[in-house]
Amino acid sequence: MLASCGAAASVENPGEGPITVAASDSYEAGPFSVTDHGTFDQPWAADIEPTTGNIFITEKEGAIKFYQPADGKMGFVGGVPEVDFGGQGGLGDIAFAPDYAESGMIYLSWVEAGGSDTRGAVVGRGQLSCEDQGHCEIRNMDVIWHQAPKTTGRGHYSHRIAFSPDGQHMFVASGDRQKMQPAQDASNTLGSIVRLNLDGSAAAGNPVSENSEIWSYGHRNILGIDFDAQGRLWDVEHGPAGGDEFNLVNAGANYGWPVVSDGNHYNGDKIPNNATRPDLAQSAITWTPVIAPGDMTFLRGDTFADWKGDALIAGLSSNALVHVKLDGDTAREIARYDLDSRIRVVLEAADGAIWVLEDGEGGKLMRLTPKG
The angle formed by the CA atoms of residues 263, 265 and 93, to the nearest 5 degrees, is 75
Q: Are strands 169-174 and 158-163 parallel, antiparallel or unpaired?
A: antiparallel
Residue 131 has pLDDT above 90, yes or no: no
Sign of CA dihedral 335, 337, 341, 342: negative
Contact status, residue 7 vs residue 336, Cβ threshold 8 Å? no
pLDDT recorded at residue 209: 87
pLDDT recorded at residue 15: 52
| Least confident stretch, 5-14, 131-140, 309-318 | 5-14
To the nearest whole number, what is the mean pLDDT of the chain?
A: 95
pLDDT recorded at residue 211: 86
pLDDT tens-digit series, residues 174-202: 999 999 999 999 999 999 999 999 999 99
Ordered domains of the chain (ranges, CATH)? 8-370 (2.120.10.30)
pLDDT recorded at residue 86: 98
Residue that wins the pLDDT comparison between 15 and 157: 157
**239-265: burial string, b at 16+ Cβ within 10 Å, e else:** bbbebbbbbbbeeebbbbbbbbbbbbe
Please list the residues that pair with 73 across neighbouring strands.
Answer: 20, 68
pLDDT tens-digit series, residues 141-183: 999 999 999 999 999 999 999 999 999 999 999 999 999 999 9
| Least confident stretch, 10-14, 18-22, 274-278, 362-366 | 10-14
**Any residues with CB less than 8 A from the CB of 279 and at least 6 apart, and which?**
none
The angle formed by the CA atoms of residues 168, 139 and 55, to the nearest 5 degrees, is 70
Residue that wins the pLDDT comparison between 42 and 5: 42
Residue 53 has pLDDT above 70, yes or no: yes
Percent of the chain with pLDDT over 70: 95
pLDDT recorded at residue 213: 98
pLDDT recorded at residue 3: 31
pLDDT recorded at residue 41: 97
Residue 8 has pLDDT above 90, yes or no: no
Using 50, 70 and 90 to split pLDDT, how confident is the model at 210? confident
pLDDT tens-digit series, residues 219-230: 999 999 999 999
